[in-house]
């Protein structure tokens, strides 16, 4: 589906935006805010969509956590936050279809604020987000020998803690929210 937003200015200098869609359109989609209703906006073709779970993409090009975060934002999303076992299965399916030599990929989880509090990139505790399944003996902060403040999802499932800058440079999942 393609949505085109056309701003129209009247003689008083006020404008309205008309949204034209190639699929399903109704008059309520016309607004004076200059924005089209989110439900009509098309998502990126390079993301996989699962109804009720969001749009996801696995970037196979390796990056550090912060660089990955910035790339996701540039694409209109954020690092993926796993909210359920169903969403984990979706990500694992994407992982299985994507060519990469890495066995884990960054997700939007970290413990920058406190070593005991793993939170999403939005600051929500991960157990409140709906998914907090760690691999055996994880998180372990590098068995005490390193600083591991970021989380990855193993290709086989479950979370792992890794270093955010030098110790792990890898693929990452982006997510665009479903509106």
Q: What is the pLDDT along the chain (179 residues), one digit of tens a residue?
A: 344 445 555 666 655 545 544 444 444 443 333 444 444 445 678 999 999 999 999 999 999 999 999 999 999 999 999 999 999 999 999 999 999 999 999 999 999 998 889 999 999 999 999 999 999 999 988 766 678 999 999 999 999 999 888 778 999 999 999 76
Asked whether the bond before 112 is cis by omega within 30 degrees of 0, the reply is no
Q: What is the CA 135 to chain-centroid distance, rounded?
A: 21
Fold topology of 48-176: Mannose-Binding Protein A; Chain A (3.10.100)
Q: Which helix (H) or strand (E) holds 93?
A: helix 85-97
pTM (2 decimals)? 0.75
Cα separation of 13 and 162, whole Å? 54
Q: Which helix (H) or strand (E) holds 127?
A: helix 126-129
Within the chain, what is the greatest distance between any pair of CA atoms? Answer: 69
Residues carrying CATH 3.10.100.10, the chain: 48-176
Q: Helix/strand/coil (H, E, C) string of 39-89?
A: HHCCCCCCCEEECCCEEEEEEEEEECHHHHHHHHHHCCCEECCCCCHHHHH
């Amino acid at each position: 589906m393609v949505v085109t937003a056309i701003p129209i200015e009247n003689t008083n200098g006020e404008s309205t935006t008309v949204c034209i869609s190639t699929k399903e359109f109704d008059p309520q989609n016309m607004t004076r805010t200059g924005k089209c209703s989110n439900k009509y906006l098309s998502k990126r073709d390079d993301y996989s969509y699962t109804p009720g779970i969001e749009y996801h993409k696995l970037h196979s090009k390796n990056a550090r956590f912060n660089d990955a975060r910035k790339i996701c934002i540039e694409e209109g999303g954020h690092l993926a936050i796993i909210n359920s076992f169903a969403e984990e299965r979706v990500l694992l399916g994407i992982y299985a279809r994507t060519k990469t030599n890495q066995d884990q990929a960054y997700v939007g989880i970290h413990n920058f604020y406190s070593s005991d509090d793993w939170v999403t990139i939005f600051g929500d505790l991960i157990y409140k987000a709906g998914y907090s399944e760690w691999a055996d003996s994880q998180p372990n902060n590098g068995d005490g020998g390193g600083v591991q403040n970021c989380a990855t999802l193993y290709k086989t499932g479950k979370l792992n803690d890794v270093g955010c800058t030098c110790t792990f440079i890898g693929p990452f999942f982006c997510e665009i929210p479903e509106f």
